[in-house]
Structure 1
Amino acid sequence: MTEFIKTPDGSNTLYSSKYKQYFHDIKTGAIKESLVKHIVPAFTYHKEKKNLKIVDICFGLGYNTLSTIYYVQKNNLEKKLEIYSPEFDLELIESLKEFEYPKEFENLKQIILELAENKKYEDGNLKIELYIGDAREYIKTIKDIDIVYQDAFSSEVNKELWSVEYFKDIYKCSNNDCIVTTYSIATNVRLSLYEAGFTIYEINPSGNRKQTFALKEKKSIDAKYIDMELKKQRNKEAKAIYDK
């Protein structure tokens, strides 16, 4: 990680020298991006569910996981959370105890410290488990997932976490009412989700930035259903992402 930058909402992020991308949209802000693109859509969809099992792909600086806890606390939600998150960069995780997080996370310092040191945290209503290693292998070991934050680096540089084969494993480890949230609106990503068995939806929460989420079953919800068969007919050049 070679560059440290403050985003518009006052939260800090980093630049990945490996993937040549920032961890977050530097025009939006790290916390705002987590809330708008992942937490709010997922928790709105699961507003009645009290126990939630979440996969955060990949942990990185931890904003999705930490923003989830912040959101639950701020809104006094009666939720019991289990969060599972793979991350290949051990050095990054261990450095988080020194990372300058925003004021919104001030009361989460102990959680951050324990995750940096022990790769896990647990109290009465919260369990977090980090896995240092290959996300593809890790998701084969978990089950009954309610929410997947699909937040890997983009498919252009990290396609192994956007392929049909990968999403098939996500499909297998998730509950029937699981929601997959992602920032990507790329047709090839949507096709990968679709060919893995998911139904595709589009929302526009900020008024000018569309985003994708996926369900295992078609439902009548407050979101635009995307007919992927029609997309395939209209754009015959578009292809899903495969491992090979």
Structure 2
Amino acid sequence: MNNPIQTIDGSNTLFSNKYNQHFHDLKTGAIKESLNKHVIPAITLKKDAKVLRILDICFGIGYNTFSTIYYILENNLDISVEIYSPELDEELVRSLGEFKFPKEFEKIKHIIDSIAKKLSYEDEKIKIKVFIGDAREYIKTLSNIDIVYQDAFSSDVNKELWSVEYFKDIYKLCKSDALMTTYSISTNVRLSMYEAGFFIYEINPSGNRKQTIALKSQKTIDAKYIDMELKKSRNKEAQAFYD
């Protein structure tokens, strides 16, 4: 494992030599980023659900998955979760038992240790499975997903997880009322999601940084609807990503 890098909220992240990017925005903070960009927006929109099936793309250091469990337990939410997550780097996942996570995760250390040892965890309310391998192939085995955390490395370096073909496979595995969260506000990324069938919305949960939520079915939510046909007419240069 590379040496941990402390982010602004005190939580640690890592730097990927393969993708030449940090796993998290240093100026936001690793746990804050997971909570504000993925967990809180998603669970707020699914607050009436009793069971949630979540796809976490990709597992990495596990912050999105662990922050989900932390948030549910901290707020005493009556929600059972099943989290499925692909990851290429098995060595990274195996090392997480020794990674210095924030104090917020102390109560779920047994879950982290189980993931590091067995790539899975299960109790009466929580089920987590980490798949080591190609995310594009893995997602074809899933169905009935409620929430997708689209948190791959950026489209500049990891375009295969931002293409129209990829998002079409995501669309197929989602329930009709599913949602997808992502940090990206790129018009090209939004077009890729839109061309795959998703409706695009914009939120600003932290008050200073916009982000995207994509819904499989159009509905009224506390977010700004983005008219992608209008975007296309006004920006002829913007193009969706294709394989």
Q: TM-score, normalised by structure 2?
A: 0.99
2: CA distance between counterparts of 1:47 and 1:107?
Answer: 23
Deviation at 1:218, TM superposition (A): 1.1
Residue 80 of structure 2: aligned partner = 80
Deviation at 1:9, TM superposition (A): 1.2
1:95-122 alpha-carbon deviations (Å, 9 max, x no partner) = 1111001100001111111111111100
Deviation at 1:221, TM superposition (A): 1.0
Report the number of matched residues: 243
1: CA distance between counterparts of 2:114 and 2:200?
Answer: 37
Q: Which one-letter code corresponds to 1:230 in the other structure?
A: L
Deviation at 1:2, TM superposition (A): 3.8
Contact preservation (8 Å) 1:144, 1:175: yes
Structure 1: stretches of 5+ with no match in the other structure: none
Which aligned pairs between 1:215-226 and structure 2 lie closer than 5 A? 215-226=215-226
Deviation at 1:131, TM superposition (A): 0.2
2: CA distance between counterparts of 1:168 and 1:78?
Answer: 32
Contact preservation (8 Å) 1:2, 1:17: no
Which aligned pairs between 1:55-74 and structure 2 lie closer than 5 A? 55-74=55-74
Q: Which one-letter code corresponds to 1:44 in the other structure?
A: T
2: CA distance between counterparts of 1:3 and 1:163?
Answer: 32
Deviation at 1:166, TM superposition (A): 0.3
Which aligned pairs between 1:116-131 and structure 2 lie closer than 5 A? 116-131=116-131
1: CA distance between counterparts of 2:89 and 2:192?
Answer: 26
Residue 137 of structure 1: aligned partner = 137
Residue 89 of structure 2: aligned partner = 89
Deviation at 1:8, TM superposition (A): 1.3
Residue 147 of structure 1: aligned partner = 147
1:159-182 alpha-carbon deviations (Å, 9 max, x no partner) = 000000000000000101101000
2: CA distance between counterparts of 1:94 and 1:207?
Answer: 36
1:64-116 alpha-carbon deviations (Å, 9 max, x no partner) = 00000000001000000000000000110111111001100001111111111
SS at match of 2:149: strand
1: CA distance between counterparts of 2:233 and 2:163?
Answer: 21
Residue 237 of structure 1: aligned partner = 237
2: CA distance between counterparts of 1:2 and 1:109?
Answer: 21
Residue 24 of structure 1: aligned partner = 24
Contact preservation (8 Å) 1:87, 1:131: yes
SS at match of 1:201: strand
The percent identity for this pair of structures is 70
Contact preservation (8 Å) 1:162, 1:192: yes
SS at match of 2:138: helix
2: CA distance between counterparts of 1:75 and 1:107?
Answer: 14
SS at match of 2:240: coil
SS at match of 1:194: helix
Deviation at 1:3, TM superposition (A): 4.4
Structure 2: stretches of 5+ with no match in the other structure: none
Deviation at 1:206, TM superposition (A): 1.4
Q: Which moves more between the two structures, 110-119 or 223-232?
A: 110-119
Is it true that 1:41 corresponds to 2:41 in the alignment? yes
2: CA distance between counterparts of 1:205 and 1:58?
Answer: 22
SS at match of 1:35: helix
1: CA distance between counterparts of 2:146 and 2:214?
Answer: 12
2: CA distance between counterparts of 1:185 and 1:2?
Answer: 29
Residue 227 of structure 1: aligned partner = 227
2: CA distance between counterparts of 1:131 and 1:206?
Answer: 31
Contact preservation (8 Å) 1:60, 1:92: yes
Runs of 4 or more above 3 Å deviation: none
SS at match of 2:209: coil
Contact preservation (8 Å) 1:168, 1:197: yes
Q: TM-score, normalised by structure 1?
A: 0.98
Deviation at 1:239, TM superposition (A): 0.2
